[in-house]
């Protein structure tokens, strides 16, 4: 495995780690939904913690790569973006499908099962 793939894998795991941390905190404290970090803007859109982890972390890695001018961080951002984009798109499609069936989607699909 060459270094670019390694960096992408590290970036994906960093993004997944932040996602796991935020979702794990929510799983430990079920009454945390009043926290602004876990705001649900619209039932068809994933909650704010998913956006912070899946879009915010790759963007932060990309900005770090721009500032430090190291290609390593840009490769990490690419890996994180592949994870985050897939997660956000998959969850949004699922939520839209649930709404289309006349049901209300869960507030968070990270802790639903």
Partner 1 sequence: MKLGNPFKMIDKETQKMLLGGLVGSLSYYGDLALSEQSWYPAELKGRVIPQLPRNDELLTSIAPPVAMWMIAKKKPKLKDMATGTMLYSGPHLMQRIVVNAVKPVASTSYPMAFPVMVSAPLPAANKIYPQPVPVATPSVPSVAAGKYR
Note the residues at the interface with partner 1 (CB under 8 A).
5, 8-9, 12-13, 15-17, 19-21, 23-24, 27-28, 78-79, 82-83, 85-87, 89-91, 93-94, 97, 109-113
Q: Which of 98, 86, 71, 69 is nearest to 15 (CA)?
A: 86
- Three-state DSSP class for 39? coil
Give min distance, CB of 37 to partner 1, in A.
16
Q: How far is CA 32 from the centre of its chain?
A: 18
In which region does residue 2 sit, left (phi positive, over 0), alpha (psi from -120 to 50) or beta (all else)? beta
Residue 52: count other Cβ atoms within 10 Å of its Cβ.
16
46: Cα within 13 Å, side-chain hemisphere: 23
Q: Given the complex with partner 1, which of 15 and 61 has the nearer CB atom? A: 15
For residues 5 and 68, which CB has a smaller minimum distance to partner 1 in the complex? 5
Cβ 78 to partner 1 shortest distance, Å: 7
Nearer to partner 1, 73 or 110 (CB): 110
For the CB of residue 102, give the shortest distance to partner 1 in the complex, in Å. 14
């Amino acid at each position: 495995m060459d270094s670019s793939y390694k960096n992408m894998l590290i970036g994906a795991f960093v993004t997944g780690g932040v996602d796991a941390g935020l979702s794990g905190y929510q799983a430990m404290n079920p009454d945390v939904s009043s926290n602004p970090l876990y705001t649900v803007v619209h039932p068809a859109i994933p909650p704010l913690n998913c956006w912070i982890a899946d879009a915010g972390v790759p963007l932060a890695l990309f900005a770090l790569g721009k500032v430090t001018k190291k290609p390593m961080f840009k490769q990490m951002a690419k890996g994180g973006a592949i994870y985050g984009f897939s997660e956000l798109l998959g969850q949004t499609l699922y939520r839209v499908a649930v709404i289309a069936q006349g049901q209300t989607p869960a507030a968070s699909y990270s802790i639903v099962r």
